[in-house]
Amino acid sequence: MAQVTLKGNPVQVNGQLPQAGSKAPAFSLVAGNLSDVTLKDFAGKRKVLNIFPSVDTPTCATSVRKFNAQANDIANTVVLCISADLPFAQARFCGAEGLENVQNLSTLRGTEFIENYGVAIADGPLKGLTARAVVVLDENDNVLHSELVKEIAEEPNYEAALAVLK
């Protein structure tokens, strides 16, 4: 169990975020068309997992915008924006913002992802959602970088996440 904060208040997070050098746990999440998408569907690509509570919050929306812009020029890389938002809300947000360089995935049927990636908020007002985290994987699903953001209302370290891909 890890501890982060939400606007300075302690929040418990269950599980352990995958660490650099480990193999990423398999997952199944929900795509925009309500189909199940697995880690294997991105085989051979490098992956940036941008994990956050909800795209309907300012910091989460900013992280999607920034990864959309910054990861666009990195070859053979896909940015997966993962939240508890329904695929409809994710599509509405990206459509309204004109964001085409990220792929949204929902934890709608992905509770094992939340547990296996150590991002399950266990208490407080966001209980049941995911903590803010970034996990970067190589083409073979080895973890290159991981960050559990200590303050949910703050942005992740984009530079550190993307530096391992350059």
pLDDT digits (tens, 9 = 90+) for 20-69: 999 999 999 999 999 999 999 999 999 999 999 988 887 877 888 888 78
pLDDT digits (tens, 9 = 90+) for 83-116: 998 988 887 776 677 667 778 999 999 899 999 9
Decide the pairing of beta strands 102-106 and 77-83: parallel
Residues designated catalytic: 60
Cα 93 to Cα 76: distance, rounded to the nearest angstrom: 25
Model pTM?
Answer: 0.93
Decide the pairing of beta strands 133-137 and 143-148: antiparallel
Per-residue pLDDT at 94: 67
